[in-house]
Amino acid sequence: MADFWQLFIDKKAELLDLFIQHMNMTMLAVFIALAIGVPVGILIRQNKVVSNIVISIANVLQSIPSIALLALAIPIVGIGEKPAILMVIVYALLPIIKNTFLGISSIDPQIMEVAKGMGMSRWKRLLKVELPIAAPSIMSGIRISAVAAVGTMTIAAFAGAEGLGWFINLGLNSRNVGLVLLGAIPASLLALALDFLLARLEHAVTPEGLLPASKIKNIPKKKKRRERAIVLTICAVLVLTPLLSTAVSSITNANEKKVVIGSNNFTEAIILGYMYADLIESNTDITVEKRLNLNGASVYFNALETGELDMVTSYTGTALVSMLHQDLTTTDPDEVYKKVSDRMMSEHNIYTSAPLGFNNTYVMCVTPEIAERYNLSKLSDLIKVADELRLGCTVEFIQREDCLPLLESQYNAEFKDVTGLDASLRYTAIENDEVDVVDAFATDALLSKLGLTTLEDDLGFFPPYYAVNFVNADLIQSDPALAEVLSKLDGAIDEATMAAMNAQVDVDGMSAKEVAHQFLVDNGLIPA
């Protein structure tokens, strides 16, 4: 508990910033869902066939896994907050539409006949009779949507939108429970706070005569109006704040020279993303926007092609196979680098930096117990007993033609079981004896932290992975000074240094931003 409290104190400024981001994205998504859902729920009440179709569509959309929905949204609206907000809107629509429809449809027809007999127009009946009576049902749907939206929005971190999911992801990467709690607890508190606020709003907008007899307190109208005004003001502030902040940010940054930096969603990539951001901000007057923690090579490469990202650090092997979709015909790292550099420029107008100085490739790892039981020290040893072992690996490792599919076809290596896992979760799985073998990268700090045995690639199977920086070529050509700044990291990091920096984050608990900054200072690349 003392450690968590210290972590909270150390991260309180960053936590506040991420909390505000998370709340703003959530409120904006819920408001948009409300603006769509309530009118739709009202319109479909007149036609049973249409209402069944609309509610069925909303049901189907909500059944899509959130991470899949986020992945589908990224190609449509890009990376950052937009796909996350779109995802939450879709999830929030069903309870709002359904409860609005049910609330209005369940009104006693005799009440509506009385309203008509009093000469009320359709709009007046809606505003004065239907909505007030249906208010408890509508508010119940909004409360369900808002509470669920807070939790769902944590996935936004995988689209580069940060929020409280940022801490959760960092905690999973480094197996730091404290960081996970630092994201999860505020998210839970925010959900409870929103539920409480919306409960007060429900009470404020519901006519007292419609409440159960046990809840009628004969509150004076003046007090009721004051309560309603306070709650509505708070809700308005929560809704308008993200809208105004977005508008102000757009106006403020409209004429600023800006560079957008992305990264993959593991420790090493995040460190390098922070490193380039710090390098640019310290040596130029350019504003840097960070879109770190993107979920997979296809996401950040597409963003680089569409111009949503200006640069991203990756690896030549990844670029050749996953980005360029080329067969690996050589394992010579320099040949691979030249091929990648030439094709990225000619086919995609993307400049490839000189290698950063370290080669990071795939390795297969087992626990010392498994290594001893099956006499494993090399990849060739693993292939012989693959049918007796359970493999836990990243989805990318399963899908890439140069990884598991090639291992299976070239060496007839059929594992007993194959499970696709998040990069961080595969370490948890092997530690808990849920899998026997995992894929990893040579510089992963958790290999030594968990005492895993790395199997020598005696077959030369895995492709070379020079770390490089991919940059929009137009940006490099238009700003030679920026190109010179970026080149300061060319050849500056060796394998041992990169592994040590990963360990500082994943083992020692330092932040990736701090580690990146310290490296730049220690090497004289930025002022202390």
Domain boundaries, the chain: 2-251, 258-359+467-522, 362-455
CATH number 1.10.3720.10 is the correct assignment for the domain at 2-251: yes
Low-confidence ranges of the chain (pLDDT < 50): none
Q: Do domains 258-359+467-522 and 362-455 have the same CATH topology?
A: yes
pLDDT at 249: 60
258-359+467-522: CATH number: 3.40.190.10
- Residue whose token pair is 């990736």: 512
pLDDT at 247: 65
Taking the mean position of all CA atoms in its chain, how far away is CA 486? 27
pLDDT at 165: 87
For 212, the 3-state DSSP assignment is coil
Torsion of CA 259, 263, 268, 271, to 10 degrees: 30
How far, CA to CA in Å, does 43 sit from each of 53, 166, 326? 13, 39, 52
User: Which strands make up the sheet holding 390-394, listed edge to edge?
Assistant: 417-421, 390-394, 437-441, 362-366, 453-455
pLDDT at 215: 58
pLDDT at 243: 67
pLDDT at 255: 59
Strands 453-455 and 467-472: unpaired
pLDDT at 248: 65
- Residue whose token pair is 């007057």: 285
Distance in angstroms (rounded) separating the CA atoms of residues 288 and 253: 11
Torsion of CA 183, 189, 190, 195, to 10 degrees: 150
pLDDT at 216: 57
The CATH fold of domain 362-455: D-Maltodextrin-Binding Protein; domain 2 (3.40.190)
Q: List b or e across 476-499, with b for residues whose CB sees 16 or more CB atoms inside 10 angstroms.
A: beebeebeebbebbeebbeeeebb
The DSSP 8-state label assigned to residue 130 in this structure reads: I
Structure tokens at 502: 């990963």
Can you spell out the DSSP letters for 312-325?
A: EEEEHHHIIIIIS-
Record the pTM. 0.79
How far, CA to CA in Å, does 19 sit from each of 42, 400, 513? 34, 36, 18
Compute how many other C-beta atoms are within 10 angstroms of the C-beta atom of residue 99: 24
